[in-house]
């Protein structure tokens, strides 16, 4: 088994305690990598390195163009190592290789490229004053950023945090999820190779509570905490941030509503609705796991949807033909299996799917269930969808908004007016019309309610990862100094 250590101050180091843990392959059910198990002392060591690199090192001072060149070199290296990186996430969490290598690797590289260019090309506001003064905004780096990541899109979600933080001149300590540690160490190695100075991008491995994750959120030398994960964990992290008055950005769970209107292009609606809920075996905060279909087309849509779900290939995630791999861990499989086992008890009918071999769950379609049932309200985070009919547009919007989450929604219609009207009425951070998962990295990303606090992406990331400063200058000597 290969050993993957922390990356602290440009060095691959073991934990101070010498402790390790294993990463488990959810398809083979075997340990496949040994990882340094960090605790508070390792997290503190990484924060000290990041602090020093920020306070005295070249990174915050070299300017966005030079940082951008290094980040583009890192993106080149990520693309060149697509096979290793893709396989690391596939072995760590069971994501089909075509998705990790074919989607997550290019999107990781794209995150570094986008934020490198965004920081370099960014403008700031000027405020001409009629008092003989001139004011403008300077966006300086915030300092040391703690990034705490989940396991469902390991390298992609890590880069979504790390790339803007670095592009704006911050230094970073990343704690990847304990289920998916390997790709973070691989990318930290590539960052050094790309020319990033030591201490700028640190990785510390470990668990959350009473471990490296919690220590990062409590360290007063951390200036920003960015977290993606479960809503309950987000509350704990927000409370830790509040104690030090450290700003937090939280991207939490979701229970995406997908509204299919009778005037939709059915082929398109079926294709995207399948992707919306079964991509990454449903382990997606954005999953369209509540599917509301207008009564006029309900039977026809359902028949096509079930047939498409049935046709999906479930199996070994290393096989190029596989569309659905195992769920990420034994614990997570047990959670999802708990929902599958209680479909009838909750008043539902299983139309297709159910538990598969090993830790797989076949694309599972439920009908007949009330909108208030647990399966239709709670984030299952597996390939499980509840299909519910609706009659009117107003009813569809009411059902969609009847949730504590507010991350995203999808709607399918060929009626332009309806598309805009319903998009405006939905309580969600992102609304996709006639598509799913398409991202413009300039657009805000995040959610309302239990789905989080704040937005990231483009200037929204700039707001979070910088400390904006107002500079007011007297430009007219005779200025009235009111």
169 near ligand TXE, judged by CB under 6 A: no
Least separation, in Å, of the C-beta of 210 and ligand TXE? 8
Instruction: Give catalytic status of residue 463 as yes or no.
Output: no
* Of positions 332, 362, 375, 427, contacts ligand TXE by CB under 6 A: 332
- Under rule CB under 6 A, residue 429 binds ligand TXE: no
Which of 160-191 are b and which e, b meaning 16 or more Cβ less than 10 Å from the residue's Cβ? Answer: bbbbbbbbbbbbbbbbbbbbbbbbbbbbbbbb
Q: Which residue is nearest to ligand TXE (CB)?
A: 208
* DSSP structural state of residue 197: P
How far, in whole angstroms, is CA 296 from its chain's centroid? 36
Nearer Cβ to ligand TXE, position 217 or 281? 217
Residue number with CB closer to ligand TXE (101 or 175): 175
Selection from 209, 246, 212 nearest residue 47 by Cα: 212
Q: Which residue has the tokens 């070199």?
A: 73
Q: In the complex, what is the shortest distance from the CB of residue 176 to ligand TXE, in angstroms, rounded to a whole number?
A: 6
Question: Are the C-beta atoms of residues 461 and 114 closer than 8 Å to each other?
Answer: no
Pairing label, strands 448-449, 248-251: unpaired
CA-nearest of 229, 200, 199 to 214 is: 229
Which of 178, 285, 393, 456 is catalytic? The answer is: 285
Binder among 236, 262, 350, 425 for ligand TXE (CB under 6 A) = 236
Q: Is residue 285 among the annotated active site residues?
A: yes
If one asks whether residue 205 binds ligand TXE (CB under 6 A), the answer comes out as: no
Question: Which of the following is catalytic: 251, 379, 393, 456?
Answer: 251
Cα–Cα nearest to 391, from 242, 259, 258, 218:
259
Compose the 335-374 pattern: x for residues touching ligand TXE by CB under 6 A, - for all others.
x---------------------------------------
Residue pair 130/101 in contact (Cβ under 8 Å)? The answer is no
Non-local (6+) Cβ contacts of 458 within 8 A are 118, 441, 442, 443, 444
In the set 175, 304, 362, 375, which binds ligand TXE (CB under 6 A)?
Answer: 175
Stretch that binds ligand TXE, among 147-155, 313-321, 349-357, 383-391 (CB under 6 A): 147-155
Q: Which of residues 261-290 bind ligand TXE (CB under 6 A)?
A: 285
* Residue 44 binds ligand TXE, judged by CB under 6 A: no
Output the CA torsion sign for 411, 413, 414, 415: negative
d(CA 15, CA 44): 12
The answer to whether 229 contacts ligand TXE (rule: CB under 6 A) is yes
Query: Active-site positions?
Result: 251, 285
Residues that bind ligand TXE (CB under 6 A): 148-152, 175, 177-178, 207-209, 213-214, 217, 228-230, 233, 236-237, 252-253, 285, 332, 335, 379, 381
């Amino acid at each position: 088994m290969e050993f993957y250590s922390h990356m602290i101050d440009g060095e691959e180091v073991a934990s101070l305690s010498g402790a390790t843990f294993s990463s488990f392959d959810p398809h083979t059910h075997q340990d496949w990598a040994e990882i340094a198990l960090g605790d508070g002392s390792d997290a503190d060591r990484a924060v000290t390195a990041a602090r020093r690199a920020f306070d005295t090192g070249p990174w915050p001072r070299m300017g966005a163009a030079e940082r951008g060149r290094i980040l583009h070199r890192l993106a080149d290296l990520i693309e060149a190592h697509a096979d290793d990186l893709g396989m690391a996430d596939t072995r760590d969490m069971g994501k089909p290789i075509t998705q990790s290598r074919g989607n997550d690797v290019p999107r990781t590289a794209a995150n570094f490229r986008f934020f490198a260019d965004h920081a370099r090309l960014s403008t700031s506001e000027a405020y001409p004053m009629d008092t003989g003064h001139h004011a403008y905004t300077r966006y300086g780096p915030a300092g040391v950023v703690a990034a705490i990541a989940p396991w469902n899109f390991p390298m992609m979600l890590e880069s979504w945090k790390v790339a803007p933080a670095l592009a704006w001149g911050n230094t970073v300590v990343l704690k990847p999820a304990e289920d998916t540690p390997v790709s973070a160490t691989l990318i930290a190695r590539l960052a050094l190779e790309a020319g990033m100075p030591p201490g700028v991008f640190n990785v510390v491995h470990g668990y959350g509570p009473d471990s490296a994750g919690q220590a990062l959120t409590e360290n007063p030398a951390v200036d920003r905490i960015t977290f993606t994960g479960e809503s309950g964990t987000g509350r704990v992290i927000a409370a830790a941030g509040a104690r030090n008055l450290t700003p937090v950005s939280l991207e939490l769970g979701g229970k995406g509503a997908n509204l299919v209107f009778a005037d939709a292009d059915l082929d398109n609606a079926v294709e995207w609705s399948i992707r919306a809920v079964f991509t990454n075996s449903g382990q997606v905060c954005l999953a369209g796991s509540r599917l509301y279909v207008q009564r006029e087309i309900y039977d026809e849509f359902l028949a096509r949807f079930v047939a498409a779900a049935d046709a999906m290939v479930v199996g070994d995630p290393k096989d190029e033909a596989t569309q659905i791999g195992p769920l990420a861990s034994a614990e997570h499989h047990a959670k999802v299996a708990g929902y599958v086992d209680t479909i009838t008890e909750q008043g539902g009918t299983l139309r297709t799917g159910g538990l598969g071999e090993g830790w797989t769950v076949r694309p599972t379609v439920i009908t007949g269930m009330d909108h208030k049932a647990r399966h239709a309200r709670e984030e299952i985070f597996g390939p499980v969808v509840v299909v519910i009919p609706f009659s009117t547009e107003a009813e569809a919007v009411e059902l969609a908004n009847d949730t504590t989450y507010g991350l995203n929604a999808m709607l399918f219609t060929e009626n332009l007016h309806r598309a805009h009207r319903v998009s405006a009425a939905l309580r969600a951070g992102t609304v996709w019309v006639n598509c799913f998962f398409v991202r413009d990295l300039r657009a805000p990303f995040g959610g309302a309610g239990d789905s989080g606090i704040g937005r990231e992406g483009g200037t929204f990331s700039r707001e979070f990862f910088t400390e904006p400063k107002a500079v007011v200058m007297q430009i007219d000597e005779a200025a009235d100094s009111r």
